[in-house]
Amino acid sequence: MTPDKVAAEAVEIHRNAEAVGCPIRLIGSLAIPRRCPNHSWLMSALGRRPPQDADFVTYSAHESQLDALLAERGYVLHPSVRHSREWGVQRLIYTHPESGMKVDLFLDELVMAHTIDFRERLEVEDLTVSATDLLLSKLQIYRITSNDLIDLIVLLAELETGSSSAQIDLDRLQSVLGDDWGFAHGALLNLARLAEEVAELPALEPEIAQLVTDRATRLIREIEALPKSLRWRIRARIGTRAPWYEHVDDVDI
């Protein structure tokens, strides 16, 4: 499927789900142009791979409804994850035999290198997760790729810290990173790498490169200054002597 068709199908899935009362929100590369309309053009300008599938977050209470909705649209639950719910896995993967479209459905949480809890968070915005949650979904990555760095560039070119759901909400960052040293450490590493690599991108206009660098640097300071929980401080004593992230196994689709 072409990128435009992938995006259109994702919007249609969202529309149909909302029509039957199922809160479902886009996350990942399809969500970024929606949250960053003024700088989404950077994705293609910097050579970001076009989205080939749709990633959603929903609540586990609506799993059965969404399973039926996707089946009506011709999607099939992938065999490798068919019984994963029995083992507590909070991720379902659907494929469409004819179009080749893939849909990832995360239930309640995004569980990857670090975990982001989305319970009571999906009502913050329509169609996509909030700007802050979208940023967190990129900062949680352990082995960050060039595509992920481009996504972060777009996010920081568009967003500044503030109190609205369309900005980077420090209260939300504090609730997640202030209680999880490993997540905070990984986020700081990714922001530092972003600040270093932005200058090495010749296709990025100097003004935008400076803006992204400044915002990444400021965000590092703001994360370091966030109030930290006792759990955070206890884990910080161990530091990098123990793994601070979860290993994520790729699903062969």
Angstrom distance (rounded) from CA 105 to CA 3? 19
Res 233 pLDDT > 70: yes
pLDDT of res. 251: 56
Q: Is 11 a domain residue?
A: yes
Q: Is 149 a domain residue?
A: yes
Using an 8 Å Cβ cutoff, are 149 and 212 in contact?
no
pLDDT band at 163 (very low <50, low <70, confident <90, very high): confident
What are the pLDDT digits (tens) for 31-43?
999 999 999 999 9
Q: What CATH number does residue 17 fall under? A: 3.30.460.40
Q: Is 153 a domain residue?
A: yes
Residues contacting residue 20 through CB under 8 Å, at least 6 positions apart: 65, 69
Q: Is 74 a domain residue?
A: yes
pLDDT of res. 199: 84
Q: Is 247 a domain residue?
A: no
Residues contacting residue 180 through CB under 8 Å, at least 6 positions apart: 114, 231, 232, 235
Q: β-strands 53-58, 76-77: how paired?
A: unpaired
Q: Is 7 a domain residue?
A: yes
> Percent of the chain scored above 90 by pLDDT?
85
pLDDT band at 55 (very low <50, low <70, confident <90, very high): very high
Domain enclosing residue 73, as ranges: 3-241
Q: β-strands 168-169, 161-162: how paired?
A: parallel
Q: Is 180 a domain residue?
A: yes
Q: Which residues pair with 56 in a beta bridge?
A: 26, 105
Q: β-strands 53-58, 24-27: how paired?
A: antiparallel
- How many domains would you assign to the chain? 1
